[in-house]
Amino acid sequence: MVLSPVVELAQDLARRALFLAPIPVVGAYLVAGFDAGLSVLLGIAISVANFMLSAYILTWASKQSTAMIASTSVSGYFIRVSLIAAAVWLLIDVESVSLIWLTLTLVISHLGLLLLELPHVSTTIAHPGLKPKAADRKPAAGYSKELL
């Protein structure tokens, strides 16, 4: 199944987050206890869910029209930020969630995951989405190994 480049990027970002999440979760647990570890885990989960929701919304909009992409990217941003605020609001009264650790994790994980994914993004028209692996790349027209 061929995925949209946006969904492909979001899934790769989620895979990297899943692989790296134990480091900050265990670190927060060791520094401040169970509440901090749980809060960091929830913050990373909310961040990944935000990126995935954004990708699926934009993929749906891309099948409609270019105007729909523009309108859903702007309105989708406000909806997703509202969902994040609602999630934080629901978690405020939970005793085992530290609001400070949760909010710091939300900010740092959003920026950190984007920076972590940046080297893996292809910005060419030929390969939108993730950069192709070396084995998947095809030589450009007119390229020959004999020329090297």
Give the model confidence (pLDDT) of 73-104 as tens digits: 899 899 999 999 999 999 888 888 889 999 99
The backbone torsions φ and ψ at residue 128, rounded to the nearest 5 degrees and listed phi first, read: -70, 150
d(CA 118, CA 120): 5
Cβ atoms within 10 Å, residue 29 = 17
Classify burial at 52, counting beta carbons within 10 Å of its beta carbon; exposed 0-12, middle 13-18, buried 19 or more. Answer: middle
**pLDDT at res. 116:** 86
d(CA 129, CA 60): 16
**pLDDT at res. 2:** 62
Q: Which pairs with CB-CB distance under 8 Å and at least 24 residues apart come from 22-29?
A: 24/105, 24/109, 28/101, 28/105
Distances (CA, A) of 45 to 7, 81, 85, 86, 112: 17, 14, 14, 14, 14
**pLDDT at res. 64:** 87
**pLDDT at res. 146:** 55
Q: Which of 101, 117, 88 is nearest to 25 (CA)?
A: 101
**pLDDT at res. 82:** 94
pTM: 0.80
Classify burial at 32, counting beta carbons within 10 Å of its beta carbon; exposed 0-12, middle 13-18, buried 19 or more. Answer: middle
Cβ atoms within 10 Å, residue 84 = 17
Spans of the chain below 70 pLDDT: 1-2, 126-127, 132, 134-148
**pLDDT at res. 130:** 73
**pLDDT at res. 139:** 56
d(CA 143, CA 148): 10
**pLDDT at res. 51:** 92
One-letter amino acid at 92 equals I
